[in-house]
Structure 1
Amino acid sequence: MEVEIPAIHPAVAVRAPREPLILIDAPTYPPDAGEVIVKVEWTSSTPYHLHQADGGLLIDMFPRILGDTFAGTVLMVGPGPHHVDLEVGDKVLGYSFRDVKDGKEKAAQTLITVPTYLLGKMPQGLTMQEAVTVPDNIVTVFQAAVMDLGLPLPWPIPEGWTPPEADAPILLWGGAGSVGMYSIEVFRHWGYKNLVVVSSKKHHEYLKSLGATVCFDYRDKHVVDEIREYLGPQGVPYVIDCIGHLTGSLRHITKLADDGTKVAVMLPVVISDPTEIQAPVYQMTEPAEGQWKEGVIVKGVRTHFYLKNQLFKDKMQCEIIPTLLEQKVVRPNPQRIVEGETLLERAQDAIVLLRNKAGSLAGKTVFAPAGLSGTGAYACQLAKKVFNAGKVITTGSTSKVDQVPKLLGEGTVDQVIDHTKEDPTKVIPRASVDFILDTTGEAMSFLHLMVPSTSLIVSISTQPSGTQLQQSSVMRRPDNPRLPWFGRLFLDFFDTCRRTRARRWGVAYEYLFLDPNAKDLKTLAGHAEEGKITPVVGCTVNLKDVDEVKAACGTVYNGKRGLGKTVIRVG
């Protein structure tokens, strides 16, 4: 049955670094020899796409279509020869990263025209949303292992084959990430027996079920010494940095790598992470240049170069990846499905999630002081019931400690600290908190509590920068008010000081300015309807009773003795 192919189709593109994504009309290219047209039904968003959207990574001209990993249905088959025997209607998965002919192979569009060596048939029992988590990561693992570390992964595996370095330690830093988990499964399947994995402690049991030999917690301040003790005098001959972060991973790995160690590092190396208001800083040259001991062999993993290996080009996507999935050698990564009414909305939300590391609160430790304040009450509930935080910590006075589970629900808060008797900065262990919503203006006193490199403090109680205040909803008025230059300079200076101080601790810091919008309010309404958040009303006063209103406002202003939200009856 012939399918009518439109001349143009929608595609998601980067207009310029740090700007919102746009939807463009992309031309639909008829398939040449060895090519097919695929209707893309699912794609994935990865840190690489964030690097492109925020840093313009490897983009020399805008607009540029995003995307690489896809799953979908074959709509048209071009003339042969083909690497895969395909028919119209076949379900396929693939990894098409090249930027050729107006981005015809890029995945963030409804139709792509790709050569058949960049895809494979969908294995039975696999959903499309599961499939798009796999190809780019498996390709990366093979490229890092074979081309960068020189560890053989023959295909097909010869009967009775044992790798020459079967017992050699292979250190995988960031083992709970996508590349890390697939690395464990691939190395295990090919017979490598000494996989030393570094990740958060909560992932250790699962990673061992995948094939990790031993696991270490990256949060442990003695983690480098513990790994050295395990390795013994021979040290570690092979390392894959599955993260590629200057402070998050490389600063530790440089202490472990000795003369002769081969290190493969994910590129680009992140020097500083992007935020909603700060551009990222990347490095594509030698990772952690100048910090390695003499004799260490360091290579940046360039996944896009895998086609230079003829075996990889002919077999990787057409045969190796589908077979590994079909035989359940590898398991698809856990997925988070990004919802949205339009393709553009879903794509933009995915970038925002990556930028803010949203969803990463799952299983992590959140500190929201003043848990029965107007904001703190919602922060605790959202952290636990919406973002699935592993541990939620808050504070309260003696009279409020017992009220926390009653008002917020049993199990919402895991630890309540009586701030009138104990100092939270001394009770909470150092380097143990992943996220803080500062509702008390004490953000800088919490820095030592944060996990270096990966944690974030968002404050609503310090001060914004002058630029942020000028651009806020407060200043969007018909008379177009402008901040005095000296006021703007003053606010910018202190905001920079806070950011710099936080950066020295390896912590990201942001001030959050309230900017209400219909989309967020609708989301919150949905959470309330589902019972995930419960309003906490402290007191209700009558607008006509001036003294009552003044007293209530004074309680809010002083930030003491208040409970939940103060509500004023107007009618």
Structure 2
Amino acid sequence: MSSHHAIAIVSPGVIDQIDFPTSTPIGNEVLIKVQYTAIVTVDTYQIDRAFYVQGYPHTLGFASAGQVKAVGPEVKNLKAGDKVAAYNFPAPKTKGLQEYALVPQPLVAKVPDDYNLAEAASIPDNYTTAAFTLFGSSNLALPLPTSFPPPSPPSDASQPILVHGGAASSGQYIIQLLHLAGYTQIYATASPKNHAYLKELGATQVFDYHSPHLADEILKATNGHKVSIAIDTIGAKPSIEAYSPVLGKESRLALLLPVKKGAAVRNEEQDDMSSVLPPWVYELVGGATVFPIATFRMFERQDPATLDFMPKLLPQLLASKALRPNRIRLFKESDGPILERVKTALDLHRENKVSGEKIVIELKWN
């Protein structure tokens, strides 16, 4: 069997460039020549805490973009040479930080020929998380429009919706999809430097999530009404405490996993991190219904709507230019060897220095 280059966790806490077997696609698999890969906080969880790592070597990278190299016999509407973006999950052969990724077609989206592939690599993982959170039948189950924008707005379009951590990659897509779906009262929290941008994406009003009066400011904007729906992209205990007064017994809260006791997206080693909801979450949310969001469950549950998010819905959104990719910080070949660029990107996440953008690595191998 032939092999290719990859960046992988080779033992707990250690990554290196390795040679990884190149597979031939079968069934509905798509073999992608990867050109750009995003680095995200969860990559650091996998390296430092073995988060959902079953063995070694374990390749990195949850989102990528490139060109189709070959397809399995069951693949439709894709062919060699097509430009694509992929959600690279969960097995090592599917991950994005390697020369060739083998990905099931439901996790692959064709992108327009003139689309910037570096920007395309910023989309799949957090766009999928956003769509799954909002429209998945096991989650908030908002009605999935037949088109964006929809022929008519939803009946509850004016209900107040809170997106906590709106500048996070998934938060940006949540705001956009809500806005495109016709919702008109979208309140977001973020650091002040990202407020104007989130309003461009569709947020009605944006609040400083470090404000000591955060809940009061949100309730003032909603004229004292509790928010109907809240989506928390951070899942940190101090921030849940800060916005919890805006939740009521009729509210629904989608909480992206893992949940952390520390205050940051990427916690210190001594801070607890859980992939299930700890009891303190329910103690804080005032009786609101909580939906723990774990994206890996999306395809386990075979929700028919989720199977269209990448291969059907995303190409439409990109072709119409309705969906903006994340702003990116691109680490190019000229910035040094791939392994060193990846290590630098990972450290930026560990130090909580990534805000309102996504780090993308150009894959040109030495």
Fold shared, TM-score > 0.5 on shorter chain = yes
Q: Deviations over 1:435-490 (max 9, x none)?
A: xxxxxxxxxxxxxxxxxxxxxxxxxxxxxxxxxxxxxxxxxxxxxxxxxxxxxxxx
SS at structure 1 position matched to 2:196: helix
- Contact 1:14–1:53 (CA<8 Å) still a contact in 2? yes
1:41-52 maps to which residues of 2 (within 5 A)? Answer: 41-52=35-46
Distance 1:274 1:175 in 2: 13
Which protein is richer in strand relative to its size?
2
Q: 2:321 aligns with which of 325, 328, 340?
A: 328
Q: 2:296 aligns with which of 273, 292, 304?
A: 304
Residue of structure 1 in register with 2:3 after alignment: 8
Number of residue equivalences: 350
Residue of structure 1 in register with 2:96 after alignment: 107
Residue of structure 2 in register with 1:251 after alignment: 241
* Structure showing greater relative contact order (alpha-carbon pairs closer than 8 Å, 6 or more residues apart): 2
Residue of structure 1 in register with 2:364 after alignment: none
Residue of structure 2 in register with 1:25 after alignment: 19
Q: 1:172 aligns with which of 151, 156, 163?
A: 163
SS at structure 2 position matched to 1:208: helix
Deviation at 1:62, TM superposition (A): 2.7
SS at structure 1 position matched to 2:329: coil
- Contact 1:72–1:91 (CA<8 Å) still a contact in 2? yes
| 1:260 counterpart = 2:250 | yes
- Contact 1:44–1:132 (CA<8 Å) still a contact in 2? yes
- Contact 1:254–1:291 (CA<8 Å) still a contact in 2? no
Residue of structure 1 in register with 2:308 after alignment: 315
Deviation at 1:41, TM superposition (A): 0.8
% identical equivalent positions: 32
Distance 2:32 2:325 in 1: 22
- Contact 2:248–2:286 (CA<8 Å) still a contact in 1? yes
1:146-157 maps to which residues of 2 (within 5 A)? Answer: 146-147=135-136, 148-156=139-147
Distance 1:290 1:78 in 2: 46
| 1:86 counterpart = 2:75 | no
Deviation at 1:153, TM superposition (A): 2.0
- Contact 1:286–1:298 (CA<8 Å) still a contact in 2? no
Residue of structure 2 in register with 1:187 after alignment: 178
Deviation at 1:169, TM superposition (A): 0.4
For residue 287 of structure 2, what is the amino acid of its counterpart?
G
Change (3 A) 1:128 1:240: same
- Contact 1:166–1:191 (CA<8 Å) still a contact in 2? yes
Distance 1:192 1:61 in 2: 43
Q: Deviations over 1:56-84 (max 9, x none)?
A: 111132331111211111112221x22x4
Q: Deviations over 1:344-378 (max 9, x none)?
A: 2222222111111335599xxxxxxxxxxxxxxxx
Residue of structure 2 in register with 1:269 after alignment: 259
Distance 2:326 2:47 in 1: 23
- Contact 1:71–1:131 (CA<8 Å) still a contact in 2? yes
- Contact 1:43–1:71 (CA<8 Å) still a contact in 2? yes
Residue of structure 2 in register with 1:283 after alignment: 274
| 1:235 counterpart = 2:230 | no
| 1:341 counterpart = 2:336 | yes
For residue 316 of structure 1, what is the amino acid of its counterpart?
F
Change (3 A) 1:280 1:336: farther
Distance 1:276 1:182 in 2: 23
- Contact 2:149–2:181 (CA<8 Å) still a contact in 1? no
| 1:142 counterpart = 2:144 | no
SS at structure 1 position matched to 2:154: coil
Distance 1:255 1:182 in 2: 25
Q: 1:203 aligns with which of 194, 197, 217?
A: 194
Unpaired segments of 5 or more residues in structure 2?
Answer: 358-366
Change (3 A) 1:361 1:86: closer
Deviation at 1:235, TM superposition (A): 0.8
Deviation at 1:115, TM superposition (A): 2.0
Residue of structure 2 in register with 1:55 after alignment: 49
For residue 345 of structure 1, what is the amino acid of its counterpart?
E
Distance 2:268 2:254 in 1: 31
Deviation at 1:293, TM superposition (A): 4.6
- Contact 2:231–2:255 (CA<8 Å) still a contact in 1? yes
Deviation at 1:295, TM superposition (A): 2.6
Q: Deviations over 1:12-50 (max 9, x none)?
A: 112344x23122221111110222211111110111112
Q: Deviations over 1:228-287 (max 9, x none)?
A: 22223431110001222222x212132322212100111111223598984653122215
Instruction: Give the superposed CA RMSD.
Output: 2.4
For residue 288 of structure 2, what is the amino acid of its counterpart?
V
Residue of structure 2 in register with 1:133 after alignment: 122
- Contact 2:327–2:356 (CA<8 Å) still a contact in 1? no
Relative to the length of structure 2, the TM-score reads 0.88
Residue of structure 2 in register with 1:39 after alignment: 33
Unpaired segments of 5 or more residues in structure 1?
Answer: 1-5, 363-571
Distance 1:277 1:173 in 2: 21
Please identify the structure whose Cα radius of gyration is greater.
1
Distance 2:55 2:235 in 1: 26
Relative to the length of structure 1, the TM-score reads 0.58
SS at structure 1 position matched to 2:331: coil
Distance 1:289 1:145 in 2: 20
For residue 265 of structure 1, what is the amino acid of its counterpart?
L
